[in-house]
Structure 1
Amino acid sequence: MMFLVVFSVLTVCVTAEDLESGVLRLKDVPAAEAFIDSAEVAVIGFFETEAARGYQEFLAAAKQMKALSVALCSEKEVWAKYGIASDTISVFRKADLHQEHLNLSEAKKVDADGLVRFMTMNNVRYVTEYNQASAVGLFQSEVKTHVLLLADRGRADSDPLQQRFRDLAPKYTGKMLFVLVNGSEKSNARVLEYFGLESRDLPRIGIYDGALDKKWLMPSAEITTERVQTFCDSFLAGELQKQKEAETPEDKTEL
């Protein structure tokens, strides 16, 4: 029922102009709220007019970011709701309850490629796949604790494991970011090395505290939802940190 309500609110805001640009236009606060609530990551281009700086570049970037929910809004009532004072591109994320705003009047350069990078870096989801671009958004987030599933995506047993990981992630909204690290990617070898792992050791679950630059590795055994949840809860309760303090201090290593 809720899906039908959200769908109907969004549908009534679509005009012939929207179909031409391929981007939804939000006409009021309820439509904006429904749009933001409908996706893990929602992007809204707040432009006063189509002649505004960055408008055409935003449309070009939106065409390249088909996996993202993107909309336009020129209604000042909606602007006031989200604290928008001038032409701005905003990213709304559920995983860390974060809003990232790009004020176009303050940007030195505005082009489609740059806006694609902005959207890509800030595309932090309930489960974000680790790569060079997503790492920027992950480490800039105010949520500094990352729960990592280090897995070889080429293995047959990885898909159900990833699904269990995804199902658990929303329980820790605003507290922990869940990150998938593809161990078969050569570019991720340094992450495995940081946790003292090799490809043959996967899959494993780890926690990284970016504020303290410390790591914890869940003991090797079957990775079940219950074990991962206990591992996460132990960190949030401070139990893993107490265990770490009792261990021999280790050299600080940059991830």
Structure 2
Amino acid sequence: MDDRLLTVLLLLLGVSGPWGQGQEPEGPSEVLPEESSGEEVPKEDGILVLSHHTLSLALQEHPALMVEFYAPWCGHCKALAPEYSKAAALLAAESASVTLAKVDGPAEPELTKEFGVVGYPTLKFFQNGNRTNPEEYTGPQKAEGIAEWLRRRVGPSAKRLEDEEDVQALTDKWEVVVIGFFQDLQGEDVATFLALARDALDITFGFTDQPQLFQKFGLTKDTVILFKKFDEGRADFPVDKDTGLDLGDLSRFLVTHSMHLVTEFNSQTSPKIFAAKILNHLLLFVNKTLAQHRELLTDFREAAPPFRGQVLFVMVDVAADNDHVLNYFGLKAEEAPTLRLINVETTKKYAPTGLVPITAASVAAFCQAVLHGQVKPYLLSQEIPPDWDERPVKTLVGKNFEQVAFDETKNVFVKFYAPWCSHCKEMAPAWEALAEKYRDREDIVIAELDATANELEAFSVHGYPTLKFFPAGPDRKVIEYKSTRDLETFSKFLDSGGNLPEEEPKEPAISTPEIQDNSTVGPKEEL
């Protein structure tokens, strides 16, 4: 029998299946050695502290076990620690059948090797004593998100609804509720629906097969309905009779329709904005303290419905703590109200031409023009400093980059940096020393460009520092430097015309978060 069908049958019989303890483990479980019986596992802030000797005992005693592999020196682990403890307290208060534990990774190399731990923190979820195939946790890093992720694995991920009162109680309690209406609860589509519900933690799910509920909501076929207390109030996703319920299509539908037609950008909404997988974002910059700016939101919202799923409409309050967003688009607060559109995949930015009033019609026209390729993207650039070439390290901006970097008579070595980047600051002395060493060479230019304030048509910069070499000649060749960042290695690279031995160690660039806000566990500090 298909595993997902078995899951549904278990649910209908009141057995927990993969959410609880009513199913045999999929793989072999480790038998607890006799010598470890009676051994107590220590606790710290409500978290079991495990070792190589006590993991087997914990797996036997706790059918649902989340284990964090951490390192005492890891900054990300220290940030996660209080949230992990809060999650343990939340679950304990609910008497949930799940236990949280942790392992000091560097002190337990056998365990880190066994479970393929390559960075910290790494969280793994074990069920039914099975230690061979734990599920890796990639969910939220806040306490409530961790707890909810676990709730949906040890309890049902969706509530079965029997009558109108059940539906009303669910939709009254939550702002967004998704209900699956299925005529056959043993079908593949129900398994797909419940699988999605396990990970869509910010939405509450229910399901039903009751004919009176189909009639109540005007349904004649299997349908997933998203109920919401804003905008149009309801959005329907009919299940295709021939192809069935597609997990990807349903996921995109829920993300799109669970968001407001206009979403205000802030620290709470930014993770959802960037998780929506809608590539085009239209931003309206306004000052919400001004009545005439607030009035523009009505027209902005009116323009949004035809673009749902294709363009995400976002409002940015310039009077709030959003300077980083303004800087990213090269704007000042006094320029509001204004519009910008960005494709988050290409990072190309677009601005309206001229001083067109912001109305529903003008907003829609701007969106259409960008989508049809009728508007050229703009590139950020600082002004060229008067003394840009007076220091050993030359200062490049967007407006003089092409002229300097692709000068056919020069070999140009450029550091693309961010002012806040610690790796950039660490390598600055070596870069200055390199420029000083070659300052009398007419054919060599050592330069730097602030990539947070300047954008280039030739390529995008996605990590800091990024080092690129532009050798002399007419073919506009570009060589990316990925080796050790010290004077000796830089010099070898230049003297060889942009070549280094293969065995040279590589130093990674630190990736930039742009204006995103990642809400899931990560990044990890490598071993």
1:214 equivalent in structure 2 = 348
Letter aligned with residue 324 of structure 2: R
1:198 aligns with 2:305: no
Shift of 1:238: 1.2
Q: How does 1:1-255 map to 2 (within 5 A)?
A: 46-48=158-160, 63=173, 65=174, 68-70=175-177, 76-77=182-183, 83-85=189-191, 87=194, 88=197, 89-90=204-205, 92=226, 99-100=250-251, 123-186=258-321, 188-219=322-353, 221=355, 222-241=357-376, 250=456, 252=461, 254-255=514-515
Local SS of the residue matching 1:77: coil
Local SS of the residue matching 2:269: helix
Shift of 1:130: 1.1
CA distance in 2 between counterparts of 1:252 and 1:198 reads: 23
Local SS of the residue matching 1:136: helix
Local SS of the residue matching 1:190: helix
Q: Is the 8 A contact 2:349 2:378 kept in 1?
A: no
Letter aligned with residue 136 of structure 1: P
Call closer, same or farther: CA 1:194–1:72 in 2, change over 3 Å.
Answer: same
Shift of 1:79: 6.1
Shift of 1:121: 11
Local SS of the residue matching 2:289: coil
Local SS of the residue matching 1:239: coil
Q: Is the 8 A contact 2:287 2:294 kept in 1?
A: no
Q: Is the 8 A contact 2:285 2:337 kept in 1?
A: yes
Say what the alpha-carbon RMSD is for the aligned residues. 4.0
Q: Is the 8 A contact 2:284 2:338 kept in 1?
A: yes
Q: Is the 8 A contact 1:204 1:220 kept in 2?
A: no
In the TM superposition, what whole-angstrom CA distance separates every residue of 1:28-54 from its partner, at most 9, and x where no partner exists? xxxxxxxxxxxxxxxxx732489xxxx
In the TM superposition, what whole-angstrom CA distance separates every residue of 1:169-208 from its partner, at most 9, and x where no partner exists? 002122111011111111x111111111121111111101
Shift of 1:143: 1.6
Letter aligned with residue 366 of structure 2: F
Shift of 1:229: 1.9
Shift of 1:132: 1.9
In the TM superposition, what whole-angstrom CA distance separates every residue of 1:139-187 from its partner, at most 9, and x where no partner exists? 122321001111111111023210000000002122111011111111x
In the TM superposition, what whole-angstrom CA distance separates every residue of 1:102-125 from its partner, at most 9, and x where no partner exists? xxxxxxxxxxxxxxxxx9999422
CA distance in 2 between counterparts of 1:158 and 1:128 reads: 16
Call closer, same or farther: CA 1:155–1:243 in 2, change over 3 Å.
Answer: closer
Call closer, same or farther: CA 1:46–1:158 in 2, change over 3 Å.
Answer: same
Call closer, same or farther: CA 1:243–1:135 in 2, change over 3 Å.
Answer: closer
Shift of 1:78: 7.7
Letter aligned with residue 341 of structure 2: I
Q: Is the 8 A contact 2:256 2:276 kept in 1?
A: no
Call closer, same or farther: CA 1:133–1:236 in 2, change over 3 Å.
Answer: same
CA distance in 2 between counterparts of 1:225 and 1:81 reads: 45
Call closer, same or farther: CA 1:49–1:202 in 2, change over 3 Å.
Answer: closer
Q: Is the 8 A contact 1:127 1:179 kept in 2?
A: yes
TM-score norm. by structure 2 comes to 0.29
Q: Is the 8 A contact 1:120 1:133 kept in 2?
A: no
**Sequence identity (%):** 24
| Runs of at least 5 residues in structure 1 that lack an aligned partner in the other structure | 1-44, 51-58, 102-118
Local SS of the residue matching 2:189: coil
Q: Is the 8 A contact 1:121 1:133 kept in 2?
A: no
Shift of 1:217: 2.1
Local SS of the residue matching 1:207: strand
CA distance in 2 between counterparts of 1:121 and 1:46 reads: 20
Letter aligned with residue 128 of structure 1: T
| Runs of at least 5 residues in structure 2 that lack an aligned partner in the other structure | 1-156, 163-169, 198-203, 206-224, 229-233, 238-248, 380-397, 400-454, 463-513, 516-527
2:446 equivalent in structure 1 = none
Structure 1 stretch displaced more, 199-208 or 214-223: 214-223
